[in-house]
Structure 1
Amino acid sequence: MTVRFVEDHFVESYYPTIENQFSKNIKYNNQDYAIEILDTAGQDEFSIMNEKHLVGIHGYLLVYSVTSRQSFELIEFIRDKILNSIGNEDLPMILVGNKCDLNLQRQVDTKEGQQLAHKFKCKFVETSVKDNVNVNIAFEGLIDDIERIQNPIIKKNDKCIIM
């Protein structure tokens, strides 16, 4: 998914490693962003997430394959591990069901993804990296959430109280 977003092509034979780091400069909503992405593909419940996966990260895409029940069931464990380490529930996350182009091999219904996202109180999107469906939407949605938390809109009638 990261290769598709950063380099705009599909890698048929992607071999996930412990981590890969990517950079991309984008213009989104008339704002320039220098994005650093740490792709931790291949993590599982037995992997020990390095502290750099948790500290100083502004947001997370929690990605599972709709063709793998196991990857879906692992998402809640990974999310809990992140939240327990950070100690902050107000962390931008988007739940992503990838490989929506493989409907005949689907093991996780769209509704299940939506329900889990509702439980997590986060956005949900299904993507197809192969067909380039909703990949940018997932990353841009995360940028929106990060901006909302880091730069909240101050209402005109808000008051400042100083003691």
Structure 2
Amino acid sequence: MASKQRRIALMGFRSVGKSSLTIQFVENQFVDSYDPTIENTFHKTFKINGQEYALQLVDTAGQDEYSILPQSYFINIDGYILVYSVNSKKSFEVIQFVYDKLLDMKGNIGTIPVILVGNKSDLNMDREVSTEAGKRVAEKWKIPFLEASAKDNHSSQRVFEQIVTTIERASGNVPEKSGCILS
């Protein structure tokens, strides 16, 4: 069986850990230093339920509520991982602007595979966004939600398994209930 090509964009406010999540998934390491990303693309092939997927991960520059999102963030993208940091209320607000911009650019979000990720769950003592708040927004948007920590490698792989499952479900390749991970 040939591997399925999937192009996925990670979007969110600056320094929420988009690059760290990606590098943890692709290279199994945590990068502690923060160097603002312009835009990077990573590749990883992995299997879910016996199917091989060749992922192209577009690690976007951090967005804010005033960002003009480049057209490249919308062309040939199969799914979106919207990332905020649990220790930043601002990043949680910004991800809602990003979601609205996705709606404006792509139309009916119900047909666009999107997941919401609260990153930096290891910073529980500095938490500004509750797990419940993240779940509420995801339920409102009718998308999967999970929390992760690139630093602790908690749910890093699950983030990418979840977006692939969400993409497959949107294309009618996965039964409705399988793979929906909430934590």
Q: When the two structures are superposed, what TM-score results if normalisation uses the length of structure 1?
A: 0.90
Could you say what secondary structure the match of 2:122 adopts? coil
Measure how far apart 1:27 and its partner are: 1.5
Unaligned runs of at least 5 residues, structure 2? 1-20, 176-183
Please say if residues 148 and 154 of structure 2, whose CA atoms lie closer than 8 Å, have aligned partners that are also in contact: yes
Change (3 A) 1:30 1:48: same
Which one of 54, 75, 85 corresponds to residue 34 of structure 1?
54
C-alpha distance in structure 1 between counterparts of 2:54 and 2:107, whole Å:
26
Runs of 4+ residues over 3 Å off in structure 1: 151-154
Task: Find the counterpart in structure 2 of residue 142 from structure 1.
Answer: 163
Per-residue Cα deviation, 1:58-114 (whole angstroms, up to 9, x for no partner): 111100000000000111110110121111322111100001111111000000000
Trace 1:108-147 onto structure 2 (pairs within 5 A).
108-147=129-168
- My pick for the range that moved more, 44-53 or 92-101, is 44-53
- My pick for the range that moved more, 20-29 or 106-115, is 20-29
Could you say what secondary structure the match of 1:129 adopts? coil
Please tell me whether Structure 1 or Structure 2 has the larger radius of gyration of its CA atoms: 1
Task: Find the counterpart in structure 2 of residue 59 from structure 1.
Answer: 79
C-alpha distance in structure 1 between counterparts of 2:22 and 2:34, whole Å:
11
Which one of 88, 107, 115 corresponds to residue 108 of structure 2?
88
Unaligned runs of at least 5 residues, structure 1? 155-163
Please say if residues 18 and 43 of structure 1, whose CA atoms lie closer than 8 Å, have aligned partners that are also in contact: no
1:50 to 2:56 alignment: no
Task: Find the counterpart in structure 2 of residue 22 from structure 1.
Answer: 42
C-alpha distance in structure 2 between counterparts of 1:44 and 1:64, whole Å:
11
Letter in 1 for 2:149: S
- My pick for the range that moved more, 77-86 or 38-47, is 38-47
Letter in 2 for 1:34: A
Task: Find the counterpart in structure 1 of residue 94 from structure 2.
Answer: 74
Change (3 A) 1:62 1:153: closer
Q: When the two structures are superposed, what TM-score results if normalisation uses the length of structure 2?
A: 0.80
Measure how far apart 1:16 and its partner are: 2.4
Please say if residues 168 and 174 of structure 2, whose CA atoms lie closer than 8 Å, have aligned partners that are also in contact: no
Letter in 1 for 2:128: Q
C-alpha distance in structure 1 between counterparts of 2:170 and 2:53, whole Å:
16
Please say if residues 55 and 86 of structure 1, whose CA atoms lie closer than 8 Å, have aligned partners that are also in contact: no
Higher relative contact order (CA 8 A, sep 6+): 2
